[in-house]
């Protein structure tokens, strides 16, 4: 499991830069489902179900359904609804971000060692017959879809503070006010989830929560804006990232930031809106360990030009020419700048300038509503109305201009690339264009020359429906899976 969120599968031996062409590669089938697939599909190989071995594709929908398909035949192996008795999915709260219904939005996580057969963990939003909203954490058997003992767990939280939606000295988590958009993170036996608002409406703050994967009991809660407002965790659906020491990294959205700092350089009221955040999980307790805020963070946040529209990526250890090893992470948001932080000293806040950050590359890309990817000492970004761009790393620093870029550009929300490779060879960057019809692109990872796109074949052979916001392709075992508003499209080598 790649908790660094590099977007790389380095074990792809079937798909190569030679055979991913419209003559040899294309749409194999579409797997029909009952709602929008906003989460990235997941895959397990060699799983025994009912006495037979299957390569299994898992998909979740905004209709609160979880599916398991045989990835080689397309047969549905099981389907589970996480709706409670008499419940429906949530309405969209008048927000076009997740519409027309809200059910399971975030990418689940699978632990093959949890439970008797392995467990898939999902967060589902529902509405009961009295009109009350619920957020629940579900633990399902990966072979049957059955709820495991203790599942589901109702999600609730309070945190000391006087910010938005507070009562008696605590901010209160209102399940109807939030969506669980960011992908789940499983780290040292704890499931971590970040919460976002419905657009920027209503009274909300920034929540991060941890749940024990075995008991589904809440282990810790952190609020990022406890004495302010807003500051949710969007990140275009990207998963919370982590390093080998158990620290979590993410980009927080527009919200309150206390520009008055204490002696340690932290906001006096504990409000970290619009920040690049490092959270410690030591002892399963959540606490901000370090952060970076731009010098103009308050004006950017007020102008809805925040960092939180993009995702954070933990880079592998990098060595400079002097032999010094650097621990870095990279992120970008709406202001078109790439921010590279030193994870050991992120830079905190200086109202005069950003000189304490490890590296800032202004205007390198368009606005970012997506996640970068990493392969072979290169970072890839697909910003809004911009080309897919490659930024090589030299001497432990990103190039300030792209070394290569795609011929095509990507309309809103840009694209989150995913990369397949066989070790360091046959690197392919995959990207989905949110158009109608949607387009799957494949590029050579070195030159970003296009190898294939799903519009090339005659008679619309590889068309797979309209685009779906924020979807990321998943590549494994010679197959590419793409979520759509009503299916999962499966691509591979043609027979």
What pLDDT, on a 0 to 100 scale, did the predictor assign at position 113? 96
Does the pLDDT of residue 248 top 70, yes or no?
yes
Reported as a pLDDT band with limits 50, 70 and 90, residue 358 is: very high
Segment 205-238, tens digit of pLDDT: 999 999 999 999 999 999 999 999 999 999 999 9
Q: What is the pLDDT of residues 436-447, one digit of tens each?
A: 999 999 999 999
Mean pLDDT over residues 108-128, rounded? 97
pLDDT of residue 108: 98
Q: What is the pLDDT of residues 260-306, one digit of tens each?
A: 999 999 999 999 999 999 999 999 899 999 999 999 999 999 999 99
Supply the pLDDT for residue 1: 60
Residue 12's alpha-carbon distances to 38, 120, 480, in angstroms, are: 24, 23, 11
Tens digits of per-residue pLDDT, 378-419? 999 999 999 999 999 999 999 999 999 999 999 999 999 999
pLDDT of residue 229: 98
> Mean pLDDT over residues 352-373, rounded?
97
Q: What percent of the chain has pLDDT over 70?
A: 100
**What pLDDT does residue 36 have?**
97
pLDDT in tens, 17-53: 999 999 999 999 999 999 999 999 999 999 999 999 9
Instruction: Give the burial class of 483: count Cβ atoms within 10 A of its Cβ; 0-12 exposed, 13-18 middle, 19 or more buried.
Output: buried
Question: How do residues 147-187 score in pLDDT, each as one tens digit?
Answer: 999 999 999 999 999 999 999 999 999 999 999 999 999 99
CA distance 481 to 488: 6
**What was the pLDDT predicted at 420?**
98
Max Cα-Cα span within the chain: 66
Domains, the chain, in order of start with CATH, read: 1-30+410-495 (no CATH), 31-409 (2.140.10.10)
Mean pLDDT, all residues of the chain:
97
What is the Cα–Cα distance from 339 to 29, expressed in whole angstroms? 40
Model pLDDT, residue 470: 85
pTM (two decimals): 0.98
Share of the chain above pLDDT 90, in %: 99
Compute the distance between CA of residue 40 and CA of residue 297 in angstroms, rounded to an integer. Answer: 31
Structural contact between residues 89 and 133, judged by C-beta atoms closer than 8 angstroms: no
| pLDDT over threshold 80, residue 456 | yes
Helix, strand or coil, per DSSP, at residue 260: coil
Distance CA 469, CA 4 (A): 23
Is residue 413 reached through a cis peptide bond, with omega within 30 degrees of 0 on the bond before it? Answer: yes
When pLDDT is cut at 50, 70 and 90, the band that residue 377 belongs to is: very high
Q: What is the CA radius of gyration of the chain?
A: 21
Task: Assess whether pLDDT exceeds 70 at residue 78.
Answer: yes
């Amino acid at each position: 499991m790649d908790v660094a969120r590099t977007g790389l599968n380095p074990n792809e031996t079937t798909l190569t830069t030679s055979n991913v062409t419209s003559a040899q590669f294309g749409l194999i089938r579409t797997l029909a489902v009952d709602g929008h697939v906003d989460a990235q599909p997941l895959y397990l190989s060699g799983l025994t179900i009912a006495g037979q071995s299957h390569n299994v594709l898992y998909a979740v929908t905004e209709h609160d359904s979880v599916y398991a398909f045989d990835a080689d035949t397309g047969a549905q192996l099981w389907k589970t609804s996480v709706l409670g008795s008499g419940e429906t999915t949530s309405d969209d709260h008048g927000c076009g971000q997740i519409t027309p219904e809200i059910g399971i939005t975030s990418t689940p996580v699978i632990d093959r060692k949890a439970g008797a057969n392995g467990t898939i963990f999902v967060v589902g939003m529902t509405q009961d017959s009295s009109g009350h909203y619920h957020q629940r954490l579900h633990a399902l058997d990966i072979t049957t879809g059955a709820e495991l003992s203790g599942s589901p767990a109702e999600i609730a939280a309070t945190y000391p503070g006087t910010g938005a939606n507070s009562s008696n000295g605590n901010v209160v988590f209102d399940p109807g006010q939030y969506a669980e958009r960011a992908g789940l993170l499983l780290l040292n036996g704890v499931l971590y989830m970040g919460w976002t608002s419905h657009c920027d409406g209503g009274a909300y703050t920034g929540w991060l929560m941890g749940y024990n994967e075995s008991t589904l009991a809440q282990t810790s809660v952190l609020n990022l804006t406890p004495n302010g407002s807003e500051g949710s965790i969007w990140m275009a659906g990207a998963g919370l990232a982590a390093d080998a020491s158990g620290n979590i990294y993410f980009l927080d959205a527009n919200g309150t930031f206390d520009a008055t700092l204490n002696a340690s350089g932290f906001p006096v009221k504990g409000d970290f809106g619009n920040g690049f955040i490092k959270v410690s999980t030591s002892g399963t307790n959540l606490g901000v360990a370090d952060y970076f805020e731009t010098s103009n963070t308050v004006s950017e946040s007020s102008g809805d030009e925040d960092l939180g529209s993009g995702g954070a990526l933990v880079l592998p250890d990098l060595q400079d020419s002097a032999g010094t090893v650097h621990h870095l992470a990279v992120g970008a948001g709406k202001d078109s700048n790439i921010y590279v932080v030193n994870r050991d000293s992120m830079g905190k806040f200086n109202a005069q300038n950003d000189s304490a950050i490890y590296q800032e590359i202004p205007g390198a890309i368009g606005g970012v509503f997506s996640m970068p990817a990493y392969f072979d000492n290169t970072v890839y970004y697909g910003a809004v109305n911009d080309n897919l761009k490659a930024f090589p790393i030299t001497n432990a620093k990103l190039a300030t201009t792209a070394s290569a870029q795609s011929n095509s550009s990507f309309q809103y929300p840009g694209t989150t690339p995913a990369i397949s490779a066989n070790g360091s060879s046959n690197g392919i960057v995959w990207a989905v264009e949110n158009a109608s019809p949607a387009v799957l692109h494949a590029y050579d990872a070195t030159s970003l020359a296009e190898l294939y796109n799903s519009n090339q074949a005659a008679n619309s052979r590889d068309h797979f429906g309209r685009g779906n916001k924020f979807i990321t392709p998943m590549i494994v075992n010679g197959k590419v899976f793409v979520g759509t508003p009503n299916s999962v499209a499966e691509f591979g080598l043609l027979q």
